[in-house]
Structure 1
Amino acid sequence: MASSYSYPELFLAGFIFTLPFLYEKSNVFRYYLKFFLYYSYVLIMCTILLPVVLLYPRDVTNLVVASRFCRYASYIVGIEWEMRGMEHWDNDECYIVISNHQSSLDILGMFEMWPRMKRCTVVAKRPLMFTGAFGFGAWLSGLVFIDRLRTDRARQLMKEATERVKADKTKLWIFPEGTRFNKGSIQPFKKGAFYLAIDSQIPIMPVVFSQYYFLDNESKTFEPGKVVITTLPPISTKGMTRHDLETLSDMTRQQMIEVFNESSKNLVMQRKIAF
Structure 2
Amino acid sequence: MYQYTMGCVWVGLACLLALILSFSSKAPYQLKMAIFIIGSGTIVLICIPLMMFKPRDYRNAFIPAWGCRQLCKALGVTMEVRGLENIRTEHGAVVLINHQSFLDLCGLAYLWPVIGRATVVSKKEVLFFPFFGFGAWLWGTLFINRSSKKDSICALQKESMAIQERNCKLLFFPEGTRNIKETLLPFKKGPFHIALQCQCPIQPVVISKYYFLNREEKSFRPGHAIIHILPEIHTAGSAVEDMDTIIESTRNTMEIEYKKLCQEIRRRGH
Normalising by structure 2, report the TM-score: 0.89
Q: Secondary structure at the match of 1:237?
A: coil
Q: Secondary structure at the match of 2:28?
A: helix
Check the 8 A contact 2:202/2:234 in 1, yes or no. Answer: yes
Deviations 1:131-190 (A, max 9, x none): 121100101111000111011111100111111222111100001100000122111101
Q: 1:91 aligns with which of 89, 92, 101?
A: 89
Question: Aligned runs of 1:61-100 on 2, under 5 Å?
Answer: 61-100=59-98
Give the match for residue 47 of structure 1. 45
Distance 2:71 2:93 in 1: 27
Decide which moves more: 262-271 or 61-70: 61-70
Structure 2 gaps, min length 5:
1-18
Give the match for residue 182 of structure 1. 180
Q: 2:235 aligns with which of 200, 225, 237?
A: 237
Normalising by structure 1, report the TM-score: 0.87
Distance 2:235 2:253 in 1: 16
Check the 8 A contact 2:29/2:219 in 1, yes or no. Answer: yes
- Give how far 1:69 is off: 2.2
Distance 1:68 1:76 in 2: 13
Give the match for residue 141 of structure 1. 139
Distance 2:146 2:263 in 1: 34
- Specify the code of the residue in structure 1 equivalent to 2:66: R
Give the match for residue 106 of structure 2. 108
Distance 2:191 2:165 in 1: 18
Give the match for residue 219 of structure 2. 221
Q: Secondary structure at the match of 2:154?
A: helix
Distance 1:150 1:76 in 2: 40
Indicate the RMSD between aligned Cα atoms, in angstroms: 1.6
Check the 8 A contact 1:80/1:225 in 2, yes or no. Answer: yes
Q: 1:150 aligns with which of 131, 148, 151?
A: 148
Give the match for residue 189 of structure 2. 191
Distance 2:184 2:266 in 1: 17
Check the 8 A contact 1:98/1:205 in 2, yes or no. Answer: yes
Check the 8 A contact 1:64/1:118 in 2, yes or no. Answer: no
Distance 2:166 2:130 in 1: 28
- Give how far 1:118 is off: 3.3
Check the 8 A contact 1:38/1:76 in 2, yes or no. Answer: no
Distance 2:173 2:89 in 1: 21
Deviations 1:32-70 (A, max 9, x none): 111111112111111111011100011112122321222
Q: Secondary structure at the match of 1:57?
A: coil
Deviations 1:174-226 (A, max 9, x none): 01100000122111101111111011101000000111111111121111111
Distance 1:67 1:91 in 2: 20
Check the 8 A contact 1:37/1:76 in 2, yes or no. Answer: no
Q: Secondary structure at the match of 2:267?
A: helix
Aligned length: 250
Q: If you compute each CA radius of gyration, which structure gives the higher value, 1 or 2? A: 1
Check the 8 A contact 1:61/1:118 in 2, yes or no. Answer: no
Give the match for residue 268 of structure 2. 270
Distance 2:132 2:94 in 1: 24
Distance 1:87 1:165 in 2: 20
- Specify the code of the residue in structure 1 equivalent to 2:154: Q
Check the 8 A contact 2:98/2:175 in 1, yes or no. Answer: yes
Check the 8 A contact 2:41/2:132 in 1, yes or no. Answer: yes
Deviations 1:11-49 (A, max 9, x none): xxxxx9xx85xx566xxx521111111112111111111
Q: Secondary structure at the match of 2:147?
A: coil
Give the match for residue 59 of structure 1. 57
Q: Secondary structure at the match of 2:227?
A: strand
Distance 1:217 1:166 in 2: 40
